[in-house]
């Protein structure tokens, strides 16, 4: 499909999204570095453009293209927070396995206007007192909602883009490719999250919030990609870390249990025995005996 045809599709979806949600959108042609604003000229009226001279933050449109590339090629997440603490949505579009375009929606305010004014705008910009009522009135015009609302909107936008976009392959092939790319990178992101946070009291909900996806969607994709559920995978990581500590440290079992993220020792013992067929204490004795025999 030509770039003009893809942009036409994105413009159509962007217009539909704007009409139904009042969230401004951008159809972005990465190859030709062109933007289609919906509604027209809304970027010139956005808060970051008006406040640029005060904050000193570069609000040129180059960051839009850079964010599209980052979103598609690094973390694959379609939600990002801008330097002004607004949320935006980006849905990347691929043609013959290449990132060619994207649809962006936003900004979306996840604070109440008065809270944003107090916590972000006033400390950061230090506006004159007479400007505060005007700024509060301006903030009240932005679409708003909590992060769960933003997640739901991102899923709607993604569904609309994928439903409307057709590349040079068949519809079924395109859908399979899109789903495979998104899921694989989503799971990589979640596995990295688990590796970094296994010692904390994390849940599937925490992982979903980290990746900006719905928990039920993450659960379904995780089970399919990993052939186990999130809790089983997390417990497996914790048990492997516990085995290493049992072998290489003199920490007692209660300390090891707490250090790898289990809050209850009896549950730790139960999961350990299920996976290793011995208790943590028996495992330590066995490995110590093996090391003694080798030396």
pLDDT given for residue 63 in this prediction? 52
pLDDT digits (tens, 9 = 90+) for 239-288: 999 998 988 888 999 999 999 999 999 999 999 999 989 999 998 888 87
Could you tell me which residue, 292 or 244, shows the higher pLDDT? 244
Cα–Cα nearest to 105, from 42, 195, 30, 190: 42
Distance between CA atoms of 9 and 13, rounded to whole angstroms? 6
Distance between CA atoms of 189 and 73, rounded to whole angstroms? 12
pLDDT digits (tens, 9 = 90+) for 24-45: 898 989 888 888 888 876 665 5
Distance between CA atoms of 71 and 91, rounded to whole angstroms? 8
The C-alpha angle 124, 127, 129, rounded to 5 degrees, equals 135
pLDDT given for residue 43 in this prediction? 65
Q: What is the mean pLDDT of residues 176-193?
A: 61
pLDDT given for residue 267 in this prediction? 94
pLDDT digits (tens, 9 = 90+) for 145-176: 887 788 778 878 887 887 744 343 333 333 33
The C-alpha angle 202, 204, 209, rounded to 5 degrees, equals 90
Distance between CA atoms of 152 and 158, rounded to whole angstroms? 10
Distance between CA atoms of 265 and 10, rounded to whole angstroms? 54
Tokens standing for 252?
């007692």
Buried b (16+ CB within 10 A) or exposed e, 217-255: ebbebbeebeeeebeebbbbbbbebbbebbeeeeeebee
Residue with tokens 């994709």: 221
Q: What is the mean pLDDT of residues 2-17?
A: 86
Residue 131 CB: number of other CB atoms within 10 A?
A: 12
pLDDT given for residue 206 in this prediction? 92
pLDDT digits (tens, 9 = 90+) for 49-80: 655 555 444 545 555 545 544 444 333 457 77
pLDDT, the chain, mean: 77
Distance between CA atoms of 189 and 187, rounded to whole angstroms? 5
Distance between CA atoms of 38 and 283, rounded to whole angstroms? 63
Q: Is the pLDDT of residue 187 over 70?
A: yes
- DSSP states along 255-282: HHHHHTT-S-HHHHHHHHHHHHSS-HHH
Sign of CA dihedral 91, 95, 99, 100: negative
Q: Is the pLDDT of residue 179 over 60?
A: no
Tokens standing for 36?
């289609």
Q: For the chain, give the percent of residues with pLDDT over 90.
A: 18
pLDDT given for residue 41 in this prediction? 67
Q: For the chain, give the percent of residues with pLDDT over 70.
A: 77
Reading phi first (left if > 0) and then psi (alpha if -120 to 50, else beta), residue 15 is in alpha
pLDDT given for residue 238 in this prediction? 93
Q: Is the pLDDT of residue 131 over 70?
A: yes
pLDDT digits (tens, 9 = 90+) for 120-129: 878 876 777 8
């Amino acid at each position: 499909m030509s770039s003009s045809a893809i942009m036409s599709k994105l413009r159509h979806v962007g217009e539909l999204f704007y009409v139904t949600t009042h969230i401004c959108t951008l159809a972005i042609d990465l190859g030709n570095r062109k933007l289609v604003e919906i509604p027209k000229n809304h970027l010139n009226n956005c808060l970051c453009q008006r406040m640029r001279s005060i904050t000193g933050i570069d609000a040129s449109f180059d960051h839009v293209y850079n964010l599209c590339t980052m979103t598609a090629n690094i973390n694959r997440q379609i939600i990002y927070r801008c330097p002004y603490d607004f949320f935006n949505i980006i849905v990347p579009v691929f043609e013959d396995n290449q990132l060619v375009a994207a649809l962006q929606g936003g900004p979306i305010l996840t604070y109440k206007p008065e809270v944003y004014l107090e916590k972000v705008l006033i400390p950061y910009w230090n506006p004159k007192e007479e400007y505060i009522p005007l700024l509060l009135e301006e903030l009240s015009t932005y679409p708003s909602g909590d992060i769960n609302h933003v997640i739901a909107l991102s899923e709607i936008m993604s569904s609309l883009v994928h439903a409307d976009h057709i590349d040079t392959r068949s519809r079924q092939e395109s859908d399979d490719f899109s789903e495979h790319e998104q899921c694989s990178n989503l799971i990589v992101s979640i596995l990295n999250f688990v590796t970094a946070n296994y010692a904390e009291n994390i849940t599937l909900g925490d992982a979903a919030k980290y990746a900006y996806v719905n928990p039920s969607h993450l659960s379904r994709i995780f089970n399919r990609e990993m052939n186990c559920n999130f809790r089983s995978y997390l417990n497996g990581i914790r048990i492997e870390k516990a085995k290493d500590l049992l072998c290489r440290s003199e920490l007692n079992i209660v300390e090891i249990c707490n250090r790898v993220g289990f809050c209850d020792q009896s549950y730790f013992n139960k999961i350990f025995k299920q996976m290793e067929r011995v208790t943590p204490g028996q495992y330590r004795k066995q490995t110590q005996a093996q090391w003694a025999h080798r030396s």
